[in-house]
Amino acid sequence: MIGGYQTVKQHSLPGFFDQALKSRPIIVFSIDVILLVVFSFMSKYFLTVENFEAMGYGILSVGIVSIGMMIVMITGGFDLSVGSTLALTGLLAAEMLHGGWPIWMAIIGALLLGGMIGVFNGILITRVKINPFIATLGTMSMVRGLALAMSQGRPVSGLPNAFSFLGEGRVFGFPFAILVLVLLVIIADQVARRTKAARLFYYVGGNEEAAKLSGIKTKQVRLAAFVLVGILAALAGVIWASRMMSMMPTAGNGLELKAIAACVVGGASLAGGEGTIIGAFLGTILIAFIDDILILMNVSSYWQLFSAGAILVAVVTLDILIRKIRK
């Protein structure tokens, strides 16, 4: 079994129950459906087109970043700097647009900066051998500081109207930004399922020493994972700036916690070697459902951050229990 994508042939429990316990996406999807039904009774506004569109916009950043975060976690690491990367890259795009640069160049500039931050993280972890927690914690502070210094703590606004299409535009009546997220999830999930290159992430995360002995360039694979999450964080930053038509240096605070929580909920193992892109997306939806019902029930927004942490702890605990049942 590679990261939950291949079918398990041996069964310790009968039928569907056995498969459900061995497939986190099935579990998370089932919970999402249950929450959908329960929350629809708790608020009459929950099952409305307007509310689901609002939720779609709300999960854009977490959903995009969680794709890259899942890849990093599959390799056995994680990235705490994604929120800061979102802010700095979004600011760069906004500053370039404010200075008269073409939109496409501003987007490319932001993506390149996100990739460079990923390279920096990857070098610290693979070459300097710094623990991912310490390395990305340091980068998180450095990048956030750069964002504050670049903007002097003030938002950057006055962006061209054409730029708003990326975050607020529609294609055949469907929000373009949400369509981008859905397409990214589908493409990334299919790549992870069907390509040999994507399996390298699982091999490295599952057993790095064995991967080295088999000829896999493990350092390059882990570096590629950090570059990918950096680029995706930058894309989320560009979309954020497009939606707001301005960019704050404090944007993306707490994004790393929600992205990691979504991945763990979706089946990522903190030890590496496990997880699916669709699982991360379903985990993002689960967290979004809970955040949304808290808002609809007029619960303080401060509890949303609490809920993300509580979900993370609960899912890890549940994962341990499920593994014991499987054994």
pLDDT, tens digit, for every residue of 50-97? 999 999 999 999 999 999 999 999 999 999 999 999 999 999 999 999
Per-residue confidence band for 10, with pLDDT thresholds at 50, 70 and 90 = very low
DSSP assignment of 279-307: HHHHHHHHHHHHHHHHHHTT--THHHHHH
For residue 4, is it within any domain?
A: no
Three-state DSSP state, 226: helix
| Number of domains making up the chain | 1
- Cβ-in-10-Å burial (0-12, 13-18, 19+) of 44 comes to exposed
Residue with the bigger pLDDT between 14 and 153: it is 153
What pLDDT shows up at residue 270?
Answer: 80
For residue 241, is it within any domain?
A: yes
For residue 30, is it within any domain?
A: yes
**What is the C-alpha to C-alpha distance for residues 47 and 39, in angstroms, rounded to an integer?**
8
Q: 90: domain CATH number?
A: 1.10.3470
CA 238 to mean position of chain CA atoms = 15
For residue 13, is it within any domain?
A: no
pTM of this prediction? 0.89
Residue 148: count of CB within 10 angstroms of its CB: 17
- Identify the domain containing residue 219 by its residue range: 24-326
For residue 11, is it within any domain?
A: no
Amino acid type, 89: T
**What is the C-alpha to C-alpha distance for residues 119 and 138, in angstroms, rounded to an integer?**
14
∠288-293-299 over CA atoms, to 5°?
A: 115
pLDDT tens digits, 233-285: 999 999 999 999 999 999 999 899 899 989 998 888 888 888 999 999 999 99
Is the pLDDT at 193 greater than 70? The verdict is yes
